[in-house]
Structure 1
Amino acid sequence: MTTYGYFMSCEEFTPAELLEQARMAEQAGFRALAISDHFHPWNGEQGQSSFVWSMIGALAQVTSLPVTTLVTCPTVRMHPAINAQAAATSAVLTEGRFRFGVGTGEALNEHILGDAWPDATTRMQMLDEAVQVIRRLFTGESVTHHGNHYTVENARLYTLPATPPPLYVSGFGPQSAALAGRIGDGFVTMQPDADLVGQFRRGGGGDKPVLGGLKVCWDSDRDRAVKTVHRLWPNEQLPGELPQILPTPEHFQQATTLVSPEMTAAAGTFGNDPEEHLRAILAYVDADFDEVYVNQIGPDQRQFFDFYRQSVLPELSGD
């Protein structure tokens, strides 16, 4: 049976707002939480970007739901050993309900210390090695590692959960899906692409979980919802590798001048028609996803949760 969760956007909401969303999500009937891990928002209109590891510690105190990072880049901005320590402590604080989603990241967040932003092939090699380091540290043994990209000297984690958190690997193309199948405990991808899910499963993923997410905008006025999304999240419509290589929110704002309101309206889920929301979610179910996370764009959070509690989640309970 598919799990339906709520996706919290650190780029758009303050820490206090995110904690309140977690409470409302659990009360509305969502069964899991996902949270983004960014240093910058995608653009200035979004306006926030809290530190995900502080947020997870706080979430552990206000909700009993599982929490997954969607996703952390454990390769450049923070060394894999530090990511391993953060993930292990998060698993302890959540009493084993933390799942570590990882990916190759974006220049937007990872270039900030002056490191060169590698090409896609190198980023996947770095992720592969980072996952190896993290898994070794999760054993609680002393780790020394001299690899192509990372060095670890006599590192040992002392605060560990009873069971290491699973590592879910993100990917958006055939090569990354195959990498996720080989090194991951699950697969994260944001489009309901059955072919990509199949590549993950054939590449070693088997029956491991597949996670995805979509952004919606509940509003009593559909046109107003489109305007809200076009103002806050036009970057969702940028093609190809642009989201991975643009380095600053200002560059994203420049690029998204090419995204028209009509493009936004044609690609999203808007308004207060339950059938539209259900169709968008069930596309992931039909593509063989195990977990689907929904993110509400804009300020109408309580109305969104009431709408899903009353009109959407009950229709999904028997899928």
Structure 2
Amino acid sequence: MTSYGYFLSSEEFGPAELVRQARLADQAGFTHLAISDHYHPWNDEQGSSPFVWSVIGALTQVTSLPVTTFVTCPTVRIHPAVIAQAAATSAVLTEGRFRFGVGSGEALNEHILGDRWPSAPERLEMLEEALQIIRRLCTGEELSHRGRHYSVENARLYTVPENPPPILVSGFGPQAAELAGRIGDGFVTMTPDRDLVERFYRSGGAGRPVIGGTKVCWGRDRAAAVRTAHRLWSTQLVPGELAQVLPTPRHFEQAARLVTEEMTGSQITCGSEAEEHAATLRAYADAGFDEVYVNQIGPDQQGFFDFYRTEVLPLLRD
């Protein structure tokens, strides 16, 4: 049976508000939390980018819901030996309810130290090597490693969980889905694509969780909700590989000028029709997803949680 969680947007909200939303999600009946990990927002209208590992620590003080990063790039901006420590500590704080969602990243967040932004095949190769390092360090063993992309010398994590956190690998195409099946403890993808799910299973992922997420904009006035979604998240509809290679929020804003309000309204569920919201999430269940995370766009979070608690989640349970 598919379960439904809330997706905390680090691009749109500061740390205190994210903690508040986690409490509201718990009270509304969501069973899991996911949280994005970005250095920059996608555009200046979103306006936030708190350090996710600090926020995860705060979340553990207000809720016992499981938490998954959605997703972290452990390859360029932060060395895998360092991010392993963050993941291990989060697993300890959550008492084993943390899962480490990882992906190959975007230039938007990862180029900030001036490193060359690698090609997609090289990024996947780096991700595979990084996960080898992270998994070994999360056991508490001392590690020295000399690989193609990373070096580690006499590194040991002294604060580690009883069991290493599961690592879920994100992917949006066939090659990434196959990599997730081969090296991941689960698969993260954002579209309800049964073909990708099946490819993940065939590549070794059978029996492992598939999780995904979507954004909606609840509001009594659908036209106003569409305008809010377009203002804040038209960048989500930038096509092709641009999302991986554009370097700054300014560049995303330029590309998103091609995205109209009509396009936004056709791609993002907006308004207050409960069955429409439920159908959006059911599409993931029908595609074989084990968990679906939903994020409310814009400031009316309380209205969204009340709506989902009383109208949408009951439909999904039925």
What TM-score does the superposition give when structure 2 sets the normalisation length?
0.99
Aligned to 1:234: 234
Task: Report matched runs for 1:150-161 at 5 Å.
Answer: 150-161=150-161
2:139–2:163 CA contact under 8 A, matched in 1: no
Deviation by residue 1:25-65 (Cα, 9 ceiling, x = unmatched): 00000000000000000000000000000000000111110
Letter in 1 for 2:98: F
Aligned to 1:264: 264
Letter in 2 for 1:226: V
Query: Secondary structure of 1:157's match?
Result: coil
Is 1:132 aligned to 2:132, yes or no?
yes
Paired positions, count: 318
Aligned to 2:201: 201
Is 1:100 aligned to 2:109, yes or no?
no
Aligned to 2:145: 145
C-alpha displacement at 1:316, in angstroms?
Answer: 1.5
Instruction: Give distance in 1, aligned partners of 2:139 and 2:96.
Output: 15
Aligned to 2:217: 217
2:4–2:31 CA contact under 8 A, matched in 1: yes
Letter in 1 for 2:233: W
Root-mean-square deviation (Å): 0.5
Instruction: Give distance in 2, aligned partners of 1:277 and 1:91.
Output: 32
Is 1:54 aligned to 2:54, yes or no?
yes
Letter in 2 for 1:273: E
Instruction: Give distance in 2, aligned partners of 1:30 and 1:167.
Output: 22
Gap runs ≥5 in structure 2: none
Aligned to 2:4: 4
Aligned to 2:75: 75
Instruction: Give distance in 1, aligned partners of 2:136 and 2:60.
Output: 25
Instruction: Give distance in 2, aligned partners of 1:103 and 1:76.
Output: 11
C-alpha displacement at 1:114, in angstroms?
Answer: 0.3
Deviation by residue 1:66-101 (Cα, 9 ceiling, x = unmatched): 000000000000000001000000000111110000
Instruction: Give distance in 1, aligned partners of 2:296 and 2:139.
Output: 37
Instruction: Give distance in 2, aligned partners of 1:135 and 1:98.
Output: 14
Aligned to 1:273: 273
Instruction: Give distance in 1, aligned partners of 2:73 and 2:150.
Output: 14
Instruction: Give distance in 2, aligned partners of 1:14 and 1:151.
Output: 34
Task: Report matched runs for 1:162-177 at 5 Å.
Answer: 162-177=162-177
What TM-score does the superposition give when structure 1 sets the normalisation length?
0.99
Taking every aligned residue pair, what percent have the same amino acid on both sides?
A: 70
C-alpha displacement at 1:265, in angstroms?
Answer: 1.1
C-alpha displacement at 1:268, in angstroms?
Answer: 1.1
Aligned to 1:192: 192
2:269–2:276 CA contact under 8 A, matched in 1: yes
C-alpha displacement at 1:314, in angstroms?
Answer: 1.2
Query: Secondary structure of 1:258's match?
Result: coil
Query: Secondary structure of 1:62's match?
Result: coil
Instruction: Give distance in 2, aligned partners of 1:309 and 1:43.
Output: 30
Instruction: Give distance in 2, aligned partners of 1:74 and 1:60.
Output: 22
Task: Report matched runs for 1:240-319 at 5 Å.
Answer: 240-318=240-318
2:32–2:67 CA contact under 8 A, matched in 1: yes
Query: Secondary structure of 1:233's match?
Result: helix
Instruction: Give distance in 1, aligned partners of 2:97 and 2:259.
Output: 38
Query: Secondary structure of 2:257's match?
Result: helix
Instruction: Give distance in 2, aligned partners of 1:221 and 1:316.
Output: 23
Deviation by residue 1:84-143 (Cα, 9 ceiling, x = unmatched): 000000000111110000000000000000000000000000000000000111111100
C-alpha displacement at 1:276, in angstroms?
Answer: 0.5
Deviation by residue 1:181-205 (Cα, 9 ceiling, x = unmatched): 0000000000000000000000110
Aligned to 2:21: 21
